[in-house]
Amino acid sequence: MDDAIGMLLRLAAREDLDDLLDVQQEGAQRALAHIFPQDAYPFPRDEILARWALEIADPGIEAYVIEQEGRVSGFAATRGDELLHFGTAVDTWGTGLAVAAHDEILDRLAAAGVSLARLRVFAENHRAIRFYEKLGWQQTAARTRTSFPPHPVLLGYERPC
């Protein structure tokens, strides 16, 4: 583990939900509009809010906010060996924040005894696929569909911690 542990991530609390959702919504609308056209499939804020509230309360899930300069600049959640959610604020894209937060997440998973981490990413989310592959994630044969309409395909990825 490196000295960055604990520098960016902190456990999310219910009080973080509005800020967390603002970050997630802006990023999703920017990066996923070709997958979820906003006129037909607007960001499901109420459903995502309810999911985050359940995940924050779930002892089997580590839900985090990424803090930078005193503000919520991203989010992440893990369950066991799986990275469930990860994203950073649009205004931080390209700054290295996502790489630093990603590395801290993997350090935390490794510290919890995980040797091989998993995640799922939309097949048409080319930006995220480039990011994860650059950081050593390998595509697996796993394929699922999201529960959110229009139910696009999610690709499985894995990477040693």
| CATH number for the domain harbouring residue 58 | 3.40.630.30
Residue 133 lies in a domain: no
Per-residue confidence (pLDDT) for residue 123, from 0 to 100: 97
Tell me if 43 is assigned to some domain.
Answer: yes
Amino acid 2: pLDDT: 38
Q: What percent of the chain clears pLDDT 90, i.e. is strictly above it?
A: 94
Domain assignment present for 156 = no
Average pLDDT over residues 23-36: 96
- How high does pLDDT run on average in the chain? 95
Say how many domains are in the chain. 1
pTM of the model: 0.93
Average pLDDT over residues 88-105: 96
What are residue 118's phi and psi, to 5 degrees? Answer: -125, 155
Predicted confidence at residue 69, as pLDDT, reads 87
Within-domain flag for 56:
yes
**Residue 4 — very low, low, confident or very high, per pLDDT cuts 50/70/90?**
very low
Q: In the sheet that 116-122 helps form, which strands lie side by side, from edge to edge? A: 9-11, 62-68, 71-79, 82-88, 116-122, 153-160, 138-145
Answer yes or no: is 35 within a domain: yes
pLDDT at 133 over 90: yes
